Amino acid sequence: MAGLLAYALLSAGFAAVLGLCALLARHVRRRGTGGAGVAAAMAAYDEAFRVTAYEAHQGITAQAEGARRRSCARTTWAIGRHPRIALAPSRPPRTAPHAAA
């Protein structure tokens, strides 16, 4: 019986530690106070156990990165790849609409 009590206490302590870690993870995610290290650890957890959440995170990250790349000039990617193509923009720059009189 004493051996069973030891295993019960050990598993109760382990469950308490895991519960505290889960509460800490929830707090860090809501507050954003974790920094890059905790964010990377949580991304690894998401990749392993919550595949759809990880795929959604990757999609959002790719969209944000694509938005940054689109803000650059449209033809800069062609430099060195097609030497005969002129690197002029494909359309004139946009101007502000004129006020109607």
Residue 61 inside a domain? The answer is: yes
Q: What is the pLDDT of residues 30-48, one digit of tens each?
A: 877 667 777 778 778 877 8
Report residue 20's pLDDT band, with 50, 70 and 90 as the boundaries. very high
**Is the pTM above the cut of 0.85?**
no
Gap between the Cα atoms of 30 and 27, Å rounded: 5
Q: What is the extent of the structural domain holding 40?
A: 36-74
Phi, psi of 85 (to 5 degrees): -85, 130
Number of domains in the chain: 1
Report residue 79's pLDDT band, with 50, 70 and 90 as the boundaries. low
Residue 25 inside a domain? The answer is: no
Q: Is the pLDDT of residue 9 over 90?
A: yes
Q: Is the pLDDT of residue 73 over 60?
A: no
